[in-house]
Amino acid sequence: EPPDAPKDFSCQTQDMKKVTCTWREGETYLYGQNLPRYTLSETSSQKTALCKARCFTQCSCSWDIGQQWIWNVTVTVENPLGKKTATDVFDVNHRMYPTAPFQVWEDCTDTEITLHWNYGNNEIELFCQTEVRQPDGKVELHNSSVAGSKCVTVCGLQPYTEYTAMVRCGAAKHFWKWSEWSQPLTTRTKEATPSGKLDIWREITPVLGGRNVTLFWKQTPSFQANGKIISYELIWEKIEDGSKPESISISSVYNSTRIFIDNHSYRISIMAKNNVNFSLPSVLIISRATDNSRSIFSTEELKEGQVNGTDDGIFISWEPRSIYDSYIIDWCNFPRLQPCDFQWKRFGPNTSSAVISSAAFFPGVRYKFRIYASVADRASLLEKRIGYLRELPPRLDPVVKKVDLTYNSVTLSWDSYLTNESEPGFIRGYHVYVSPVQGNCNLKGSKKHILSDESELCKYTIENPEEKKYTVKHLMPNTKYKIVVKAFTGGGETPIVNFRYIDTPYNSNMLYFVFLLVIVPTLVAAICHWKMKWVKECCCPVIPSPNKSKVLSFKEFKIDSEKVLKINDCLTDVLAMDSNAEAQKL
């Protein structure tokens, strides 16, 4: 293809002695002796070969300026298929592109950096700009206030903070473009007195003769070390009698310590120290043991309320009171370890809830939280909470210790379920699963539960975790059942693996009914058949005895104690003599 016109053709100078022109070449798909040839010429002076072009990533060509300041430069590119040109008309004084500043150095205070530099051509008046990069990556540009100045002061910096600075310059008159940046200079501002206060907290353990107080501290967002912390200064003194304060200095590698105090009230303060000075003191007041009995010695009297986990952490709420100026929640990130990585967080007086989050929180681990209320640096225990980031199913099933069977029911009894801190969730209740070994379950009052193998179970739910007995009714007599008791938490229950098998007995009431209905009549019939004559004489004699006749039981048939039957009152079929001796009397 024929060549394209040179692209981005422009000329500039860095020292007012030599001009350099640059441009980009196009693709012609010709090689060897057919490659494009470039020629630079100056129109006004009729110079046809100003310099020899060199092309790498871009093409360039340089020549001496001499005494000429105004230039009309044309670059011509040609190959066997054609040629193209590009022109640049310029005043050398308007095309100043300085070299990058060098020998950059600095002077520092705690909040200012003054940068100094040199550049190659001191005869040209330059205007310079400084780039300051902060530790967070934020970049600020600062311009020198005086043309020709070789320094700039950057103010408003943080003490003992590392900054990276670079300088570039351009012509103060007839600005063309900035130079390249200087080599970066990394420097650190000097130290200053720490600003703000440490966030401090304590854990109190009663011991013989007094209390062990474990003190913790950490730097808050409002605290600025402004240097390298070399130690922490701890001072404690009795409030009542004004005795001489005690103090210790603790290395900066530690963030806690333990001291012993007696049962009096104490004022404790902690300060951070760097090479310049101390920070402002952070103060805690430990009340007398008698006054503080609720928050130290009798914490078990407060019932531990249960809290729930969320996607963001563990949600905790409390009842705020207007007399307090702040609230503190403390907990352990690893409650099963020692040390447990003790943590705490402060909240303002108008806060009544918080979501406690930590990268150390794991599902199935029980965390304990204590909520303190503070007024005038004096804290007391307000409430206690326990909870999980997410509950998991119980590790073990209840152990059924007793099974009482009837023909249509079974009563299961199990031991108290251990609900200690190692449990992966709060026991919410129990599920009792029942099913006949043969066939499906459809017991009255139960819900259907489908296992992974699609077999059906009858499910009963006990929502009281304190319950230790349950009776399953409406069973069939003389039937084999499989049964299991499962504890469940907010995280559900473990899969059903093992069943207990029971056999219901025959219905004894039915056997008794059959006995009454069949056996007794049969026995009576057999006796009657065996004693037929006696039964006949007893129940229906040929000649009834007057003394046994119910007809003669009425009063009108009685004379004294004898029963009398008047002959004219009845028609006889047969007259028989009852007794010869009696007949003789009559």
CATH number given to 7-94: 2.60.40.10
Query: What burial letters (b/e) apply to 383-415, b meaning 16+ CB within 10 Å?
Result: bbbbbbbbbbbbeebbeeeeeeeebbebebebe
User: Hey, which CATH number is domain 102-188, 3.40.50.12660, 3.40.190.10, 3.30.70.980, 2.60.40.10?
Assistant: 2.60.40.10
Task: State the Cα–Cα distance between residues 65 and 50, nearest whole angstrom.
Answer: 10
Close Cβ partners of 321 (under 8 Å, ≥ 6 residues apart): 373
> Pick from 331, 502, 335, 324: which is nearest to 412 by CA?
502
At residue 362's C-alpha, the angle toward residues 360 and 365, to 5°, is: 115
Q: Which CATH number fits domain 198-294: 1.10.3720.10, 3.40.50.920, 3.40.50.2300, 2.60.40.10?
A: 2.60.40.10
- Of 44, 70, 75, which is closest to residue 60 (Cα–Cα)? 75
DSSP secondary structure code for residue 13 in this structure:
E
Surface-to-core class of residue 144, CB atoms within 10 Å of its CB (0-12 exposed, 13-18 middle, 19+ buried): buried
| CA 234 – CA 492 distance, rounded (Å) | 49
What's the pLDDT at 553? 54
Q: List b or e across 294-308, with b for residues whose CB sees 16 or more CB atoms inside 10 angstroms.
A: ebbeeeeebeeeebe
Kindly report the backbone phi and psi dihedral angles of residue 516, in degrees, each rounded to the nearest multiple of 5, phi listed first.
Answer: -65, -35
- Angle (CA) 373 374 377, round 5°: 160
How far apart, in whole angstroms, are the C-alpha atoms of residue 360 and residue 342?
12
C-alpha to C-alpha distance for 530 and 413, rounded to whole angstroms:
54
> Across the chain, which distance is largest between two alpha carbons, in Å?
196
Q: Which CATH code, of 1.20.1440.130, 2.60.120.650, 2.60.40.10, 3.65.10.10, is assigned to 305-388?
A: 2.60.40.10
Tell me, yes or no, if the two domains 102-188 and 305-388 fold the same way.
Answer: yes
Q: Which fold has domain 400-504?
A: Immunoglobulin-like (2.60.40)
| Nearest Cα residue to 253 out of 228, 288, 279 | 228
Q: If DSSP codes are grouped into helix, strand and coil, which group holds residue 398?
A: coil
Structure tokens at 395: 């590790």
- Which tokens is 539 given? 């129940």
Residue 310, both tokens: 């969320």
Of 7, 17, 98, nearest to 62 by C-alpha is 17
Could you write out the three-class secondary structure of 12-73? Answer: EECCCCEEEEEEECCCCCCCHHHCCEEEEEECCCCECCCCCCEECCCEEEEEECCCCCEEEE
- Identify residue 394 by its one-letter amino acid code: P
Give the model's pLDDT for residue 189.
94
**Confidence (pLDDT) at 407:** 86
Report the candidate in 287, 308, 315, 314 with the shortest Cα–Cα distance to residue 381. 287
Instruction: List per-residue pLDDT tens for the chain, 586 residues long.
Output: 888 888 999 999 988 889 999 998 877 777 878 888 888 888 776 677 788 888 888 899 999 888 888 989 999 888 888 888 999 999 999 999 999 999 999 999 999 999 999 988 777 888 899 999 998 999 999 888 777 788 899 999 999 999 999 999 999 888 999 999 999 999 999 999 999 999 999 999 999 989 999 999 999 888 999 999 999 999 999 988 778 899 999 999 999 999 999 999 999 999 999 999 999 999 999 998 864 444 433 444 678 899 989 989 999 999 999 999 999 999 999 998 888 999 999 999 999 999 999 999 999 999 999 999 999 999 999 999 999 999 999 988 888 888 888 888 899 999 877 777 888 999 999 999 999 988 888 888 888 888 888 888 999 999 998 899 999 988 888 889 999 999 999 999 999 888 889 888 886 665 566 666 777 778 878 877 776 766 666 666 666 666 555 555 555 556 666 666 666 656 677 777 666 776 676 6
Identify the bridge partners of residue 456 per DSSP, sorted by sequence position: 450
Count Cβ atoms below 10 Å from residue 550 Cβ, excluding itself. 7
Q: What are phi and psi of 151, to 5 degrees?
A: -155, 160
CA dist., res. 335 & res. 338, Å (int): 8
* Backbone Cα Rg of the chain: 54
In the chain, where the domains are located = 7-94, 102-188, 198-294, 305-388, 400-504
What pLDDT is recorded for position 529? 72
Contact between 180 and 200 (Cβ < 8 Å): no
For residue 33, what pLDDT is reported?
81
Tokens at 490, concatenated: 């907010």
Decide the pairing of beta strands 366-375 and 429-436: unpaired
Q: What angle do CA 211, 212, 214 make, to 5 degrees?
A: 140
CA atoms of 405 and 407, how far apart (whole Å)? 7
Residues in CB range of 90: below 8 A, 6 or more apart: 11, 70, 71, 73
